[in-house]
Amino acid sequence: MTDNPLLRPWDAPHGLPPFERLRTEHFEPALREGMRRHREELSAIAAQAAQPDFDNTVAAFDRAGRLLARVAAVFYNLTSSATSPELQAVQRAMAGPMASHQSAVYMDAALFARLDLLHEQRTGLTLAPEQRRLLDRIHLDFVRAGARLDPARQVRYAQVMEELARLTTRFAQNVLHDESAWQLPLRGGADLAGLPESVLAAARQAASDRGLDGHVITLSRSLIVPFLTFSQRRDLREQAWRAWVGRGENAGETDNRELARDILRLRNEQARLHGRSCFADHALADTMAGTRQAVQGLLGEVWPRALVAVERERQALLEVQRSAGQEGEIEPWDWRFWAEQVRRDRYAINDAEVKPYFRLENVVAAAFDCAGRLFGLRFTPRSDLPVYHPDVRAYEVHDASDALVGIFLQDNFARPSKRSGAWMSSLRWQCRNGPAQLPVILNNNNFAKGAAGEPTLLSLDDARTLFHEFGHGLHGLLSDVTYERLSGTQVLRDFVELPSQIFEHWITEPEVLQRHARHFRTGEPMPLSLVDRMHAARRFNQGYETVRYAASALVDMAVHSLETPEPPADLCAFEAGLLREHGLPHGVGLNHRLVHFQHLFAGSSYAAGYYVYLWAEVLDADGYDAFVEAGSPFAPAVAARLKRHIYAAGNSVEPGAAYAAFRGRPPTVQPLLKKRGLVEAEAA
Ligand SMILES: [Zn+2]
């Protein structure tokens, strides 16, 4: 054990993980040792002779398991962003034992008896508000993990959770396999027609990453989306689209069709063990929304309006297609291409004109600058800190009084060993319970790296994604709470996208663009006319974006609202039928289909929860208006309230109350509809 660097003291600066000494074989023994010590700590809490009180039981539970937590954080970060077949094998082997450990913790009868007693006495205890919140939260964690079930049901519940952990791990690995296995080599000349230089450069880099010459398109979002937008080769667009939406549906080893059904069957059983008729009811009980009706209510506000908008957009696409001398339906692989033509015609704007102003380094600097002006943070690069991949950048983060508040790691580039998407994770949460911990926060993006010697240029969408993840990062870094369970982004899941989504607003503020969106060759700021045109075009194609998103949310809700133990025999047919019923136009197409929908099946935290982005968008659209009303995107009083009540509060305050404290009133849905151009009078 003692030669395992994960189990020795982490003596790198700031207690960062000993990345350079880590080998695959270190993880399993370290995870097992972490579980053993966690169990030991919990047994000691349960076996105390002293009557339960807040500190010897609730706070002690919050302090337990730190070794396991930090080893697991490193492990899951590597399996997501720098994995290997060997690491994947460890991940599959450990999925079951880790899930069993969770069940054993939350079904420990002696421990729960102490917590339950305190919870019953809660109104009589003299607890600070954060302490009361922690007691409620941990008690609910136990109940939701099966602490109240009878012993026979507990055995079955633990089996269900263990099996779910195995299956969701396999699901994610299958998607990664299908994503990294597919590539479309472009054979020069006609194959390249329409592709702007930035896409060509990214495709050259993707080829060289794979040891190939020429240009390659992969299923990385930052390559496939621009390819579908610009390529004049309809046949190649169709090939690429079919590969993209076919992930997880390829017969053989990586087929997710039965796997997704197995997951749904187990989730239904999980819900039934809790006395619920469907998984959505179980999942939503611990959210702001609370019920299926509330979620359907919000989707119902948006869906019909979005259908009207998308039909208007489809007509515009047909028109421009006809005037280009082409007839026929708009197919899903055509939509982005013709939309780009309309955007160019109507707003005199195109991605290729915008990208040179969004050099990656400039967008990062813009995000840091906004965090500085809003919250007083300063980011200092530290190339000497240990990281797990040469592409990762490390920063020390200081506040306005020059105190160190945390460490920020940013891993921006796509690679075959990284899963798709963009996400924030934590290697260590901020807290003051036990030895005080400064947060170590990580952002992962999947940008296509510019070819050697060439800059990485982002689209506006990419830049927004960077700001989004950075907003989650700030939620982790600015956290200022006592207890670890309430720290950072560990809030209700339909609240967690508020800090990320509200931060997206700053990337398109004219003031921010003027300062940071500078041409990578000339250093000239983005011309005002381009800023104006970008703003004029901001609601363009929002019908398309909104119906695609909302359709995925509807499918998620439908499939998790089924009250029968047995899922539909053919999930793909179920999905197609549902979309037909809801009137999704054929040309729109979905790129989050059930067979590769990682939000739903790579874990359970977003299952029956894809709606959360829209839920949080109600809050972020309404919340950002506070800056508009104050007359400045950096209005200090509004920024101070945003920091205190939203970014710093973690889960220490009930989210509805936290929002109202920031905004001075509850949110309204109108700003969201307006932002998306879904208010009739304002249709763009
Ligand atoms: Zn997010």
What percent of the chain clears pLDDT 70, i.e. is strictly above it? 99
pLDDT at 187 over 60: yes
pLDDT at 683: 43
Q: Which tokens in the block code for residue 410?
A: 């940013």
Q: Is the pLDDT of residue 677 over 90?
A: no
- pLDDT band for position 680 (cuts 50, 70, 90): low
Rounded CA separation 161/270 (Å): 8
Most confident by average pLDDT, 264-278, 337-351, 585-599: 264-278
CA of 71 to the centre of ligand 1 (A): 24
Q: Which of 469, 484, 504, 617 is catalytic?
A: 469
Interval between CA 472 and ligand 1 midpoint (Å):
7
Asked if 258 is an active-site residue, the reply is no
Q: What percent of the chain has pLDDT over 90?
A: 90
Average pLDDT estimate for 28-36: 98
Q: What is the pLDDT of residue 495?
A: 96
SS3 489: coil
**459, amino acid identity:** S
- Ligand 1 centre distance from Cα of residue 499 (Å): 9
CA of 500 to the centre of ligand 1 (A): 6
pLDDT at position 564 over 90? yes
Mean pLDDT in residue range 93-113: 96
Mean pLDDT of 602-615: 94
Question: For position 78, what pLDDT does the model report?
Answer: 97
Instruction: Decide: 422 and 469 in contact? Cβ < 8 Å.
Output: yes
The Å distance, Cα 358 to ligand 1 centre, comes to 21
Taking the C-alpha atoms of residue 642 and residue 663, their distance in angstroms, rounded to an integer, is: 8
Kindly give the distance from the C-alpha atom of residue 466 to the centroid of ligand 1, in angstroms, as a whole number. Answer: 10
The answer on pLDDT for 49 being more than 80 is yes
Q: Which long-range contacts (CB under 8 A, 24 or more apart) does 275-280 make?
A: 277/563, 278/560, 278/561, 278/562, 278/563, 279/560, 279/561, 279/607, 279/608, 280/557, 280/560, 280/561, 280/608
Q: Which amino acid appears at position 222 of this protein?
A: S
Q: Which of 193-202, 459-468, 495-504, 543-552 has the lowest mean pLDDT?
A: 193-202
Q: Which residues pair with 186 in a beta bridge?
A: 215
How many Cβ atoms are within 10 Å of 630's Cβ, its own excluded? Answer: 14
**Is the pLDDT assigned to residue 684 strictly greater than 70?**
no
**Distance from Cα 158 to the centre of ligand 1, integer Å:** 30
Instruction: Give the pLDDT band (50/70/90) at residue 118.
Output: very high
pLDDT value for 147: 97
- Dist. CA 553 → ligand 1 center (Å): 15
Residue 549 pLDDT greater than 80, yes or no: yes
Output the CA 681–ligand 1 centroid distance in Å: 30
What's the 494 CA to ligand 1 centre distance in angstroms? 10
Distance 345 CA to ligand 1 centre (A): 32
Q: How many CB atoms lie within 10 A of CB 605?
A: 12
431-438 CB contacts, 8 Å cutoff, 24+ apart: 431/62, 431/481, 431/482, 431/483, 431/484, 431/487, 432/481, 432/482, 433/59, 433/62, 433/63, 433/482, 433/483, 433/484, 434/63, 434/66, 437/484, 438/14, 438/404, 438/405, 438/406, 438/407
Mean per-residue pLDDT for 620-639?
A: 98
Tokens encoding 368:
């840091």
Ligand 1 centroid – CA 422 distance (Å)? 8
Containing 92, the helix (H) or strand (E) segment is helix 85-106
CB 47 within 8 A of CB 110: yes
Report the mean per-residue pLDDT for the chain: 95
- The pLDDT score that the predictor gives to residue 349 is 87
Note residues around ion ligand 1 (Cβ under 5 angstroms): 497, 500
Q: Confidence class of residue 1 from pLDDT cuts 50, 70 and 90?
A: low
**Gap between the Cα atoms of 684 and 670, Å rounded:** 16
pTM recorded for the entire structure: 0.93
Can you tell me which residue has the tokens 């909104």?
Answer: 546
What is the mean predicted confidence (pLDDT) over 297-320?
95
CA of 498 to the centre of ligand 1 (A): 8
Return the bridge partners of 525, or none.
518
Q: Please give the distance, rounded to the nearest whole angstrom, from the Cα atom of residue 616 to the centre of ligand 1.
A: 10
pLDDT of residue 539: 84
In this model, does residue 377 exceed pLDDT 80?
A: yes
